[in-house]
């Protein structure tokens, strides 16, 4: 792909996904645009064994944008980093096509082990603000990671993950690529659990009330029976 064609594709990508962009010139000021130019150059240097210069170019991108992408990471087409400050992408990370990352996202490892130690992100994945994906596993295609989630294990395709630690709260049979950029309207498992507890508590309270009424009824019947027996005993005397 020619450099000019790549620039045009990046510009079109940012304009499509960020409603705050009103002109093509603004794209040149966008952190995602700047950092991806630095990454592509750094990655080429890294593949050719020029590790120092790769890191030098990469660190220039970090200083300008606040986004840290290791030159060894493998990134497909159409990566969009919205705002981006605080985003960290580790050395052995693999990112598929048409993915979206928001500010504060970390694609990191879990220790000092060597080899593949960072996550693999499938195609059309959205990772919301502040989410942490830590470890060498895959996030399946068309999945969404909710804001502030900490994901520590593999995520099946077409899934929605929220919470700390992250858990799958919704899984669709098929999801259209980049169906929505909505970070907020995701399932809330804590709220759902609270509602279940409230419903169970109400059912339990109704059951206890019914048992108390039944007990009071039998107590009343027993008193009436005792009175009747006492009256019969008095008549016999």
Same domain, 149 and 83: yes
Domain boundary residue, one of 185, 209, 226: 185
| Residue-range definition of the domain harbouring residue 219 | 188-237
What confidence score (pLDDT) does residue 237 get? 63
Which neighbouring-strand residues pair with 94?
74, 120
Q: Which residue has the higher pLDDT, 115 or 99?
A: 99
pLDDT digit string (tens) for 117-134?
Answer: 999 999 999 999 999 999
- Which CATH number do you get for residue 121? 2.160.10.10
Same domain, 213 and 98: no
> Which residue, 20, 23, 27, is CA-closest to 6?
27
pLDDT digit string (tens) for 13-64?
Answer: 777 777 777 777 888 888 888 899 899 999 999 999 999 999 999 999 999 9
Q: Spell out where 58-123 has E strands.
A: 68-69, 74-75, 80-81, 88-89, 94-95, 100-101, 106-108, 120-121
What confidence score (pLDDT) does residue 181 get? 57
* Euclidean distance between CA atoms 21 and 125, whole angstroms: 22
What's this model's pTM, rounded to 2 decimal places?
0.71
Largest CA distance in the chain: 118
pLDDT digit string (tens) for 147-191?
Answer: 889 999 999 999 999 888 888 887 776 655 555 555 556 666 767
* Euclidean distance between CA atoms 64 and 12, whole angstroms: 22
Contact of 27 with 33, CB cutoff 8 Å = yes
* Euclidean distance between CA atoms 160 and 144, whole angstroms: 5
Same domain, 154 and 218: no
Report the number of distinct structural domains present in the chain.
Answer: 2
Same domain, 138 and 117: yes
Same domain, 73 and 171: yes
What confidence score (pLDDT) does residue 62 get? 93
Q: Mean pLDDT lowest for which of 51-55, 146-150, 205-209, 220-224?
A: 220-224
pLDDT digit string (tens) for 78-104?
Answer: 898 988 889 999 999 999 999 999 999
Mean pLDDT score, 207-214:
88
Q: Which residue has the higher pLDDT, 202 or 179?
A: 202
Same domain, 63 and 28: yes
Same domain, 150 and 207: no
170-184 burial code (b ≥16 CB/10 A, e <16): eeeeebeebeeeebe
Contact of 79 with 37, CB cutoff 8 Å = no
* Euclidean distance between CA atoms 164 and 197, whole angstroms: 20
| Torsion from C-alpha of 29, 34, 36, 42, nearest 10 degrees | 170
Tokens for 53? Answer: 């210069």
Same domain, 152 and 206: no
Same domain, 216 and 142: no
CA separation, residue 55 to residues 8, 65, 203 (Å): 26, 15, 62
Location of structure tokens 């809330």? 188
Same domain, 192 and 103: no
Same domain, 9 and 84: yes
Same domain, 169 and 96: yes
């Amino acid at each position: 792909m020619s450099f000019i064609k790549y620039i045009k594709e990046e510009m079109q990508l940012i304009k499509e996904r960020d409603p705050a962009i009103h002109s093509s010139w603004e794209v040149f000021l966008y952190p995602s645009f700047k950092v991806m130019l630095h990454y592509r150059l750094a990655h080429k240097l890294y593949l050719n064994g020029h590790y120092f210069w790769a890191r030098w170019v990469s660190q220039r991108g970090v200083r300008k944008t606040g986004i840290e992408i290791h030159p060894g990471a493998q990134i497909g087409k159409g990566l969009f980093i919205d705002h981006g400050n605080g985003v960290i992408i580790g050395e052995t990370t693999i990112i598929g096509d048409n993915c979206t990352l928001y500010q504060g996202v970390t694609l990191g490892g879990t220790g000092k082990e060597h080899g593949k130690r960072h996550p693999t992100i499938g195609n059309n994945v959205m990772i919301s603000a502040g989410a942490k994906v830590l470890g060498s596993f895959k996030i399946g295609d068309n999945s969404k990671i909710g804001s502030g989630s900490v994901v520590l294990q593999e995520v099946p395709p077409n899934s929605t993950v929220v919470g700390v630690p992250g858990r799958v709260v919704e899984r669709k049979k098929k999801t259209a690529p980049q169906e929505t950029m909505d970070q907020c309207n995701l399932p809330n498992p804590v709220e759902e659990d609270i509602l279940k507890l409230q419903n169970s508590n109400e059912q339990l309270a109704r059951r206890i009330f019914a048992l108390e009424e039944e007990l009071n009824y039998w107590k009343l019947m027993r008193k009436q029976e005792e009175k009747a027996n006492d009256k019969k005993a008095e008549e016999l005397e």
